[in-house]
């Protein structure tokens, strides 16, 4: 960027190709000539218009850096023209000028978006300072806009690197880029493990809220009794055990984005309260006397058919339509096979570093086996399979086709109770054999359900027909971590 001194000869400015453009819209020809004389010496190209119609036309055609606008014009009110200028030439700073010393008019002009307001006769030195400041602000804003645009492009490229280059994924990323600039609530639909949270993070990182928190909450992983406090927060003494005040997830996300994963698991009683938060932009913590304002964008994800749950009376129709202001549907991995090699190679590189294995690539035909598999667990399952294959490759430089095939034959992440090596008893008693078999059966059942629920312990407990606490204790006893089944 070329930087000019405060005062630069017109010829030099023209030579450098950086002549700033000033448009003066004023029916006083003498004032226009004075302004032109002052600013042309300062390195500006000055254009004058003496009525609203020609002023608007020139503003649209020349895209000036700064506009000086008189309040009283022969064919139109200056405030009315100000509003149209700001609509038709976005970002242009407009400085109002008038011989009428009216404070209310000045306030109204600033409320409409004028950069500043000066009274006639204008002090020329003051005018030069105000115009320079307006121009500097315009330049800085243009640079900020360019940086934001570049950052959004970088984030889009990063998201593609994380998700893959398939046409289906490319279409999803285009939707992400389109809706990110808005404050729409977005409902992200897709199977468990397909990458819905990654899409939500991509929307946040490409939005104007990117510098503020991204708070993700799994609506099915928190016991129902604690869910309201987790979302809304609570005051000290609001319930037994509430020994201190705690802000909820909604307050923590203030200024940023709150991602409600598996929103279909919210109980009906909380659905009504969530709807009230979405509509009022206010949160009342448990035990509080008044509501607190919040500025939060909400994203939600589900692997359920929410319209079907609405018909079944399990989900509120008004909440569904409020969350689904825009819907992004993420196809399962089996329908975007072009992403599989890309993701597999990325997971292999990550696993090799994490597990300190010398594995550099997949062997001949190994990726073909991945392409023919149906991937019921989607991206999460692909990652688990590749990690296991890298772990078992030990000192090999490649993951062979045979090793991948062996991993794919068993559920990713749990032992096979039918394996003869597992059933070898040695000197165990019949009681020990029975206890070990029961332990393995419990472990396998819990792992299978956790994989199907994406590590959601509350949903797993319901499927297994037990309570959350019992499942939690059983998992701790068996050494099972819910995090191993999440993306």
The DSSP result for 77-140, as a single string, is BHHHHHHHHHHHSTT--EEEEES---HHHHHHHHHHT-SEEEESSPPHHHHHHHHHHHHHHHHH
> What per-residue confidence (pLDDT) applies to 213?
93
Tell me which CATH code domain 427-485 carries.
1.10.10
The one-character DSSP state at 417 is T
- pLDDT at position 422 is 36
pLDDT for residue 434: 61
- Region 159-167 average pLDDT: 84
Q: Is the pLDDT of residue 171 over 70?
A: yes
Q: Which fold has domain 10-142?
A: Rossmann fold (3.40.50)
The predicted pLDDT at position 154 comes to 60
- Does the pLDDT value for residue 317 go beyond 90? yes
Domain layout of the chain by residue ranges: 10-142, 164-331, 335-408, 427-485
The pTM of the full predicted model, rounded to 2 decimals, is 0.58
Q: What pLDDT does residue 22 have?
A: 93
Give per-residue pLDDT as tens, 89-143.
888 999 988 876 677 787 888 888 899 988 888 888 889 899 999 998 888 877 7
Task: Report d(CA 477, CA 456) in Å as an integer.
Answer: 18
The domain made up of 164-331 is a member of CATH 3.40.50.300: yes
Phi-psi region of 78 (alpha: psi -120 to 50; beta: other; left: phi over 0): alpha
Q: Please state, in angstroms and rounded to a whole number, the distance separating the CA atoms of residues 53 and 65.
A: 19
Q: What is the pLDDT of residue 435?
A: 61
Q: What is the pLDDT of residue 419?
A: 39
CA distance to 336, 346, 371, per residue, from 375 (Å): 11, 17, 9
At residue 426, the pLDDT reads 44
> Helix 29-40 and helix 124-163: axis angle, to 10°?
70
Instruction: Name beta bridge partners: 327.
Output: 187
Contact 48, 16 (CB under 8 A): no
More confident residue, 269 or 331: 331
Q: Tell me: pLDDT of 359 over 60.
A: yes
**What does the pLDDT read at residue 1?**
32
Q: Which residues pair with 23 in a beta bridge?
A: 47, 67
112 Cβ contact partners less than 8 Å away, ≥ 6 residues apart = 79, 82, 83, 86
Q: What is the pLDDT of residues 172-201, one digit of tens each?
A: 999 999 999 999 999 999 998 899 999 999
The answer to whether residue 416 scores a pLDDT higher than 60 is no
What residue ranges in 190-283 does DSSP mark as E strands?
Answer: 214-218, 233-234, 246-247, 257-261, 282-283
pLDDT at 326 over 50: yes
Element (H, E) at 447: helix 430-452
CA distance 167 to 108: 50
Domains 10-142 and 164-331 share a fold: yes
Q: Report the C-alpha gap between 67 and 69 in whole angstroms.
A: 6
How many other C-beta atoms lie within 10 A of the C-beta of residue 21?
17
323 — pLDDT class (breaks 50, 70, 90): very high
Range 40-69 average pLDDT: 90
Q: Which of 117-131, 151-165, 285-299 has the lowest mean pLDDT?
A: 151-165
CA distances to 19, 91, 136, 144, 338 from 139, rounded to whole Å, are 13, 10, 5, 9, 43
What is the model's pLDDT at position 104? 78
Angle between helices 103-112 and 78-88 (to 10 degrees): 10
Average pLDDT (465-479) is 81
- List C-alpha distances in Å: 60 to 23, 63, 67, 73, 225: 11, 6, 12, 18, 60
Cis preceding linkage at 121, omega within 30? yes
Q: For residues 382 and 369, what is the distance between their CA atoms, to the nearest angstrom?
A: 12
Chain segment 404-415, per-residue pLDDT in tens: 888 887 654 434
Handedness of CA 57, 60, 61, 64 (dihedral sign): positive
3-state secondary structure of 62: helix
Q: Which CATH class is domain 335-408?
A: mainly alpha
Most confident of 330-344, 357-371, 417-431: 330-344
Q: Which residues, 6+ apart, have CB-to-CB distance to 12 below 8 Å?
A: 4, 43
Other Cβ atoms closer than 10 A to 267? 12
């Amino acid at each position: 960027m070329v930087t000019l001194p405060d005062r630069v000869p017109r010829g030099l400015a023209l030579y450098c190709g950086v002549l700033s453009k000033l448009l003066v819209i004023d029916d006083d020809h003498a004032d226009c000539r004075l302004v032109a004389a002052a600013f042309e010496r300062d390195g500006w190209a000055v254009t004058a218009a003496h009525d609203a119609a020609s002023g608007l036309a020139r503003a649209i055609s020349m895209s000036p850096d700064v506009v000086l606008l008189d309040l009283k014009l022969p064919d139109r009110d200056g405030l009315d023209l100000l509003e149209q200028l700001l609509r038709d030439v976005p970002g242009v700073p407009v400085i109002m000028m008038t011989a009428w010393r009216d404070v209310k008019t000045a306030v109204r002009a600033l409320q409409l978006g004028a950069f500043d307001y000066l009274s006639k006769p204008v002090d020329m030195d003051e005018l030069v300072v105000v115009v320079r400041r307006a121009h500097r602000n315009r330049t800085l804003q243009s640079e900020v806009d360019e940086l934001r645009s570049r950052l959004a492009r970088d984030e889009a490229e990063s998201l593609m690197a994380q998700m893959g280059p398939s046409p289906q994924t490319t279409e999803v990323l285009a939707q992400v880029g389109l809706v990110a600039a808005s404050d729409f609530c977005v409902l992200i639909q897709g199977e468990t493990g397909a990458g819905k949270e990654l899409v939500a993070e991509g929307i946040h990182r490409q939005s104007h809220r990117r510098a503020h928190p991204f708070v993700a909450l799994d609506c099915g992983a928190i016991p129902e009794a604690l869910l309201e406090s987790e979302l809304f927060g609570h005051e000290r003494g609001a319930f037994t055990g509430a020994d201190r005040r705690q802000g909820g997830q909604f307050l923590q996300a203030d200024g940023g984005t709150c991602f409600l994963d598996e929103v279909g698991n919210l109980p009906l009683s909380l659905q009504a309260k969530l709807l009230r938060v979405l509509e009022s932009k206010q949160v009342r913590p448990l035990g509080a006397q008044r509501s607190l304002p919040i500025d939060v964008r909400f994203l939600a994800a589900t692997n359920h058919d929410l319209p079907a749950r609405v018909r079944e009376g399990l989900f509120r129709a008004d909440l569904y339509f409020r969350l689904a202001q825009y819907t992004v549907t993420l196809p399962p991995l089996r329908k975007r096979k072009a992403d599989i090699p890309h993701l597999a190679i990325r997971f292999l590189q990550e696993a090799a570093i994490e597990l300190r294995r010398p594995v550099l690539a997949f062997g001949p035909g190994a990726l073909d086996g991945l392409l023919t598999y149906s991937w019921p667990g989607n991206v999460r399952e692909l990652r688990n399979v590749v990690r296991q294959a890298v772990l078992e490759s030990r000192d090999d430089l490649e993951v062979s086709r045979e090793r991948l095939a062996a991993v794919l034959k068993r559920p990713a992440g749990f032992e096979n109770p039918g394996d003869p090596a597992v059933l070898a008893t040695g000197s165990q008693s019949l009681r020990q054999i029975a206890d070990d078999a029961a332990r393995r059966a419990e472990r396998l059942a819990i792992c299978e359900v956790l994989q199907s629920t994406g590590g959601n312990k509350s949903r797993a407990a319901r499927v297994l027909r037990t309570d959350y606490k019992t499942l939690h204790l059983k998992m701790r006893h068996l050494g099972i971590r819910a995090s191993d089944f999440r993306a």
